[in-house]
Structure 1
Amino acid sequence: MLNRLQESDIKLLRVFFAVASCNGFTAAEPVLRMQRPNISAAIKKLEERLELVLCHRGRGGFQMTKEGEVVFQETKRIFNAFDNFVFNLKSLHDDYSGHITIVLMSGLPMNVVKAVSRSVKSAMDKFEDIHFNVQTRLYNEVEHAALSGECHLVVSCYDMVKPESIIFHELPCSIEGQLYCAKSHALAKCIEAIPDNVNLKEHPAIGITGMSPANYIGDERRLNIQTFSDSYESCLPAILTGEYVGLLPDAFVETHPFGDDLVPIGGSEFTFKHTMYVMNGKNTRMNPVLKHFIRELEYFVTQ
């Protein structure tokens, strides 16, 4: 049983991290610059150290176990935090080379995603030897990502009470949406408004984990939330069944292949508008690279 990490364990974890990220031993060879027998031996040694089976390999191909998935996610957090530490340490010497980790909330509008891409390119052109690691998190995970130190910046909307431990840089854009249902739903004809005599308790709704409950309250009524999902993407299948209504961003619906199967309902009663932010923990050192990225993002999201 592993009670304390040693330097040799870190090396083994890096091998496992590369294999898991590449989804296989063969694909990880050029990344690690190691031959497959050596990679296999390192994974086996790590499994012995942890007393866990991390992955299955054989004719069926590479497949991580449940324990391996947990170790992979925790390893990702460790290495992200370590890379951030090294980057911040270098910046104390006016050396801005290294890796920057940006976390994006899943389901962002395409104009925001494109603006992030252009801002990354601008920062890489301006500063030498800078590399960006862009990751995604679910709606209810962005606050933790900003606070944990596993990333430098988070790009997300945020409609909860803002914690003092996070700094919010407001972007000149927002995510707007409304209540949707499938065309087969009983309320599909209520586009302009849901009649006052309709009892919303008779129509189950699906909510988004982490979203403020205020979003589910209309003028004098509230949605009957019966189940939750962790993202707009995973909320959509439930709505398409015709059994649930749910809040979705307009841009998400307009660009989705199944968007034509949805109907906006309720008029303005259940509309929402969530401001976009760049978020960072107060312990994040705001060096010139991060400041440049934020300035560029503020510009590009308006283009």
Structure 2
Amino acid sequence: MSRNNKIAPQLSNFDIRLLRVFRTVVECGGFSAAEVELNITRSAISISMSDLEERLGMRLCQRGRAGFSLTEEGKLVYQASQQLMTSLEDFRSKVNFIHEHLTGELNIGITDNLVTIEHMKISHALKALKEKGPDVEIQIRMIPPNEIERSILDGGLHVGVVPNIRTLPGLQYTELYNEESLLYCGKEHELFDIPEEEITEQLIQQHDAVAPAYAQSAQTRCHYQNLKTSATATDREGVALLILTGSYIGYLPTHYAKRWIQDGKMRALNPEQYNFVTQYRTVTRKCNRHNMVLDTFLRDVHKENYV
């Protein structure tokens, strides 16, 4: 057998499989005893041994009537294979440790007032991330959608949660959940005690309304066209404040308005007609470098079993 053969610079899975067979044969003391351990036939073991010897360019063992024994080269290869398998197991353990002990930071940009949404996907995912990586540093910024997208493109944020208003090149969007909004008035408003069947479109149009000053989709903007808009607010809290004055009507997400509905401080106006749904999405940068913290958060935030 030629000694000029050299094993490839990069070990293949095939090489490692042959070495595992070789180690088992050595530790079992021969081909016959290794059959049970490996759960393959003796002929298959013999073929594997021959393949390994051919790839290494040396005879590793003597087998025949005199029994099984290692050559001097075989003893050295066996020792080297033990070191290799130990290193592989050490590598596997370290990678598993990294998976189980996340480190680093996660910078998130979120549109305001999503904390009261019933699904709580973001909260669930952040809780799961903290459990998996107690040392992970989480930074949350409550900023408008356009700033979230710009910060992700600039690298200032890892991920954002934004309404479906537009799709920018260079960013990856994934649907997260839908949010329902209704038209509300406050307890002091003259529409508050009027029966629903008497609240007509003409009556709605007679009353001052507050509209958002932040970006909205074209589909959402159309719901404000027939309102008598006389005030604007830069966020939902501002909209709620004006509705609670009793001087304005305005749209709010149902999950956000729920507290005031329960306290009898707001009511929905003709919800069958005055309603719309906003789709929220996670957004990340396309072709992002691998980030295990970000990957873990995204995997958890999009779990189907979060309700």
* TM-score in terms of structure 2 length: 0.57
Match of 2:19 in 1: none
* 1:143 to 1:222, Cα distance in 2 relative to 1, 3 A: farther
Cα distance per residue 1:140-173 (max 9 Å; x no partner):
64333433422101123x13232223211111x2
Distance 2:183 2:223 in 1: 10
Counterpart pick for 2:251 among 244, 247, 253? 247
Q: Mapping of 1:124-273 within 5 angstroms?
A: 124-127=130-133, 129-138=135-144, 141-156=147-162, 158-171=163-176, 173-188=177-192, 189=194, 191=196, 194-198=199-203, 200=205, 202-208=206-212, 209-218=214-223, 222-256=226-260, 260-273=264-277
Give the partner amino acid of 1:104. I
Distance 2:197 2:149 in 1: 35
* 1:300 to 1:114, Cα distance in 2 relative to 1, 3 A: farther
Distance 1:193 1:291 in 2: 52
Match of 1:275 in 2: 279
Give the partner amino acid of 1:215. T
Give the length in aligned residue pairs.
206
Q: Larger deviation: 191-200 or 103-112?
A: 191-200
Report if the CA contact (8 A) 1:167-1:282 is conserved. yes
Q: Which one has the largest radius of gyration? A: 2
SS at match of 2:294: helix
Distance 2:291 2:136 in 1: 13
Identity of aligned residues (%): 22
Distance 1:114 1:145 in 2: 24
- The Cα of 1:183 is off from its aligned counterpart by 2.5
SS at match of 2:251: strand
Counterpart pick for 2:292 among 280, 288, 291? 288
Distance 1:286 1:226 in 2: 48
- The Cα of 1:181 is off from its aligned counterpart by 0.8
Contiguous gaps of at least 5 residues in structure 1: 1-93
* 1:299 to 1:233, Cα distance in 2 relative to 1, 3 A: same
Give the partner amino acid of 2:248. Y
Report if the CA contact (8 A) 1:104-1:155 is conserved. yes
Report if the CA contact (8 A) 2:171-2:283 is conserved. yes
Report if the CA contact (8 A) 1:119-1:300 is conserved. no
Q: Larger deviation: 241-250 or 120-129?
A: 120-129
RMSD of aligned C-alpha atoms? 3.2
* 1:149 to 1:292, Cα distance in 2 relative to 1, 3 A: same
Report if the CA contact (8 A) 1:168-1:280 is conserved. yes
Match of 2:105 in 1: 99
- The Cα of 1:284 is off from its aligned counterpart by 3.9
Q: Larger deviation: 143-152 or 223-232?
A: 143-152
- The Cα of 1:293 is off from its aligned counterpart by 0.8
- The Cα of 1:259 is off from its aligned counterpart by 5.2
Cα distance per residue 1:176-225 (max 9 Å; x no partner):
1110011332333263574144361x322111121235324359x62222
Contiguous gaps of at least 5 residues in structure 2: 1-98
Distance 1:288 1:129 in 2: 13
